[in-house]
Amino acid sequence: MKITRLHVFQLQGVMEFPGAFWEERLVRPIDVYPEHKAEGPSNTPEVGDGKYLIESSCVEVETDEGVTGLGGPITADQAQVIARQFSPIAVGEDPRATERIWDKIYRSQVHGRGGVVMMALSALDCALWDLKGKWAGAPVYRLLGGPTRPEVPAYASALGFSLEPDLVRERARMIVSQGFKATKWFFRHGHLDGREGIRKNLELARTLREAVGDDVDIMLDAWMSWSVPYAISMAKQLAEYNPRWLEEPMMADKEREGCALIRQQSPVAIATGEHQYTRWGLKGLMDSRSADILQPDIYWAGGISEVVKICNIASTYDLPVVPHGHSVPATAHLILSQPANTCPILEYLIKWNEIHQFFWKEPVKPVNGVVRLTEKPGIGVEIDEAKIVKRRELN
């Protein structure tokens, strides 16, 4: 079997959602500049009352035997990297030789060890695993050595939800009523926002704990926007509310040293690694003892092939891996191939999954707070043609 084409294309559709889709945003590193601090949440384009334009790019690996593999959603610039830079290397290769293809592309991209290029390689790798599963007639978790269990618990990430206390209380209780035993929320304030910012951050944690009670985990995400002294101070104050972890307090280039210093004094576990790439980036966090929980994203850090390696290395440090949740379908397969102590839980971004899985015929969603095994071959995603308003070829 040989690859004949890396086919990239963009889909457009219209999602119906009552009211404002994005109600609030998270704190960002660029918010140190007042003009950016004042910006509201990013908007998914609204094309009518309660209707939003959804655009998703995908890659499909085509072969001379008719077996295909699907990867996505990705951005249009990632799609162009696949079409222009990866195609000359991948076309003619055996698509089942995922290690060979990954290594050849990685070695060809000496300035692409992160960012758009690595994200593009991650998507292609996932598409190749989807193809390999379809060729074998088996779900990807079986090809990876699983399943290790019939289901995995999910935690609900509330990115984009309002941070008004009454609404936080209402939505947190709604999440618990849906069967989730853990929920993550995102701070809006950083180290330059003074006492009022500290008060509002603590108010969020207090409101969540009061809403969900003592038997549900809460996680709190600073999205790379704090300083070391501020994170240490906040962690000590947040400890009263018993969060499961404090996430990504430092920018990625500073987190080895910064998170290591924070961990030395924090009574709260530190989770990070979402914006690191490849086994080398994540191993750096392990060696510097910068994290209690590692969070590589399968669609960013190098694909299924690479995150399996990250899990193997992490197991030697006795560190859990909780992948960031860009792609629930791909992540579920990887997690279900790993022991529960290595990959204990799956992230489900509530609003993002309405967008990221919009075009899938059968989106992978938690039921009663858990994601269960599927016997579908490959990763198990298929495009719902009925949702496509416009399709544009990108190569």
Catalogue the active-site residues: 324
Strand, helix or coil for residue 47: strand
CB neighbour burial string for 368-381, b if at least 16 within 10 angstroms, e if fewer = ebbbebbebbbbbb
Q: How many CB atoms lie within 10 A of CB 243?
A: 22
Strand, helix or coil for residue 102: helix
Measured CA to CA, the distance from residue 393 to residue 219 in angstroms comes to 40
Q: How many CB atoms lie within 10 A of CB 315?
A: 16
Contact 297, 323 (CB under 8 A): yes
Q: List 217's β-bridge partners, or say none.
A: 182
Quick one: angle between helices 98-108 and 303-316, nearest 10?
A: 90
* DSSP letter assigned to residue 240: G
Q: List 58's β-bridge partners, or say none.
A: 9
To 10 degrees, the CA torsion angle through 380, 385, 390, 393? 50
Which residues lie closer than 8 Å to 34 by C-beta, 6 or more apart? none
Measured CA to CA, the distance from residue 180 to residue 154 in angstroms comes to 7
Match 């960002």 to its residue by tokens: 28
Q: List 5's β-bridge partners, or say none.
A: 62
Q: List 297's β-bridge partners, or say none.
A: 324
E strand or H helix that includes residue 278:
helix 278-287
To 10 degrees, the CA torsion angle through 258, 285, 343, 368? 30
Measured CA to CA, the distance from residue 164 to residue 216 in angstroms comes to 20
